Chains A and B, each alone.
Chain A
Amino acid sequence: MSITRDEVAHLARLSRLALTDAELDHFAGQLDQIIGAVARVQEVAAEGIPPMTHAVPVVNVLRDDVVAGCLTPEQALSGAPATEQGRFRVPRILAED
């Protein structure tokens, strides 16, 4: 299991991260090492043991359909870098074609 420099570049693009060539080389190497380390788990003989979802097997943690408190618009927007008309203002989403 390893990750290529191209795959790291692809992930960076999906995450809208502008990485320089030097950073790509650097992160590709680091990520490859991390994945290599995690991949060692797969070496454990786990024949017949189903994968776990959580450390404790719990299902059906559900809440009743009852309205609980919300934030006020002021509170909700208080951490936003920019707001307008009671809404979060975000930069242009699509680049010009």
Chain B
Amino acid sequence: MTDLAQLVPYDEALSRYEPVIGLETHVELGTATKMFCGCPTTFGLEPNSAVCPVCLGLPGSLPVANRAAIEFTIRIGLALNCSIASWCRFARKNYFYPDMPKDFQISQYDEPLCTDGWLDVDVDGRAFRVGIERVHLEEDTGKSLHMGGATGRIHGADYSLVDYNRAGIPLVEVVTKPVAGTGVLAPEAARAYVTELRDLLRCLGVSDVRMEEGSLRCDVNTSLAPHGAADWGTRTETKNVNSLRSVERAVRFEIARQAAVLDAGQKVVQETRHFHEDSGSTTAGRSKEEAQDYRYFPEPDLVPVAPARDWVEQIRASLPELPAARRARLQADWGLSGAEMTHLSNAGAVDLVSATVEAGASPAEARKWWLGELARRANESGTELSQLAITPAHVARVSAMVRAGTLNDQLARQVLEGVLAGEGDPDTVVEARSLAIVSDEGALAEAVDAAIAANPDVAAKVRDGKTAAAGALVGAVMKATRGRADAERARELILERLS
């Protein structure tokens, strides 16, 4: 374990060293079937029920590549501004590990399908262009359970149990070029890149990009060099970074750790490190000394892939409006500043606000609820906004009721609470909780009279011209009507009676 006392405070580390980061992101494609056979890719099936002779590597079986997976990879490459290879091959990556029953993984090595592109990301309002080195296609591995030992980890395990349902699911790896020049914003830049990539992949419809289910996984490379140094430092590769927040924390931790190593006059060891969600720290992984020797060679069981140029152009023409372009359009439509749009984007609220506006709310109303009350609720329950049990249509309906004067903001919050609690749609909640504003003048007048009668001292002050004191009477009316009175109208009635 790393001694946490040996970390250099982040800002101090950045005052002496310049970080360079790089990201390798694995994405499980959302095809119906695996990369080289017709087994389904459904998540959560009974162990070893989505397997066949091909993905189990049984003798005599032959792989055949999935056309949809090739097309999805080309879509990703085009959206990332890459060149698409006119001819490329798969390669065998040989390694001794039981997560692939064949004892090798079919991947791409020196002939990736897509190369040399870029993705623009927004970091705290600053635009960074992240270079894309390559996008290649491979197959995912099986899942292992490590049994025995104290930790459930591979170290110290007595044996392992393997489920090959995931083995062979098409997996795309997106590799960035080294990202330099982010300085102190390196952790935010790493997170912003993965966020943008995730949104892009979702928009392309090629993956469900669920980090918690492992359909999007990140390895984060970090290195440090003294300011002004001619060469970059030695990098470490942190694996197992499986949330957006973790991407940021992993970079931050590695910068603090490597700065301490360099400050002590030691050298950073080029190694694989593991990220630990609980402590936010990284520890050295197993030695890669031998594992690096993958003995790649062209996969003899598959023929080359040579995407026809007209097919590639057809795919390019079918690309949807990409998130960056869409954000720019919505920002203009909604009349927001860049910072406001970034805030909306970081909160994961762009799609929700857009859908709420489509359902009839104004952009200001939609933003107000999603970034205010609902963001607070999501934060409290530790979930994403999009995971809340409320739809844009519900929010639009609540907005409409506020606009019509049926609800005030306080009542609207109660309606939202009811919808979130599963009490039904907004109209049902208003009905069941009797939340609509009391529009009946008679009922309101009764409440006003009762408030005046119950607070003679206050009423006297108002009669003497201290109209500010009327607030206490309005408060009493609101309390009596459980917040359902129109406060403005109540004030008018009070002042009329006490004038």
Contacts and interface: CB of A to CB of B under 8 A. Distances in A.
Interface of A: 10, 13-16, 53-54, 58-73, 76-77, 79, 84-94, 96-97
Nearest to A62: B67
Contact of B306 (A59, A67, A71, A97): A59
Interface stretch (B290-298, B421-429, B451-459): B290-298
Interface stretch (B45-53, B183-191, B368-376, B393-401): B45-53
B38 A66 contact: yes
B38 A63 contact: yes
A46 to B, nearest CB: 17
Nearest to B68: A65
Interface in B271-300: 286, 290, 293, 295, 298, 300
Given A14-B290, A63-B64, A88 B305 contact: no
Interface of B: 31-33, 37-40, 46-53, 56, 58, 64-70, 87, 89, 94, 96-98, 101, 144-147, 154-164, 286, 290, 293, 295, 298, 300, 302-307
Contact of A61 (B51, B65, B97): B65
B377 to A, nearest CB: 39
B49 A87 contact: no
B287 to A, nearest CB: 9
Contacts of A76: 48-49, 51, 56, 164
Given A73-B47, A90-B98, A68 B38 contact: yes
A72 to B, nearest CB: 7
Contacts of A79: 58
A63 B48 contact: no
B84 to A, nearest CB: 14
A90 B46 CA distance: 19
4 nearest interchain CB pairs?
A68-B38, A65-B68, A87-B161, A62-B67
A63 B67 contact: yes
- Could you tell me the dominant secondary structure of chain A's interface residues? loop
Contacts of A84: 147, 161
A93 B157 contact: yes
B69 A71 contact: no
A59 B70 CA distance: 13
- Could you tell me the dominant secondary structure of chain B's interface residues? loop
B154 A53 contact: no
Among the interface residues A15, A54, A59, which one has the most CB atoms of the partner chain B within 10 A? A59
A44 to B, nearest CB: 20
A65 B89 contact: no
B312 to A, nearest CB: 13
A70 B96 CA distance: 26
A86 B45 CA distance: 12
B161 A59 contact: no
A67 B39 contact: yes
Contacts of A71: 51-53, 56
A15 B157 CA distance: 21
A94 B49 contact: no
B38 A88 contact: no
Contact of A87 (B97, B145, B303): B145
Contact of A94 (B94, B147, B154): B154
Given A63-B66, A70-B40, A86-B47, A15 B303 contact: no
Contact of A65 (B33, B98, B156, B295): B33
A92 B97 CA distance: 10
Nearest to B94: A14
14 contacts: A53-B89, A59-B304, A60-B305, A62-B305, A67-B32, A68-B37, A70-B52, A72-B49, A76-B49, A87-B47, A87-B161, A89-B160, A93-B160, A96-B156
Nearest to A84: B161
A60 B306 CA distance: 6
Contacts of B293: 10, 14
B52 A93 contact: no
Contact of A70 (B39, B101, B305): B39
Given A69-B38, A93-B157, A86 B48 contact: yes
Contacts of A60: 303-307
B327 to A, nearest CB: 31
Contacts of A94: 154-155, 157, 286
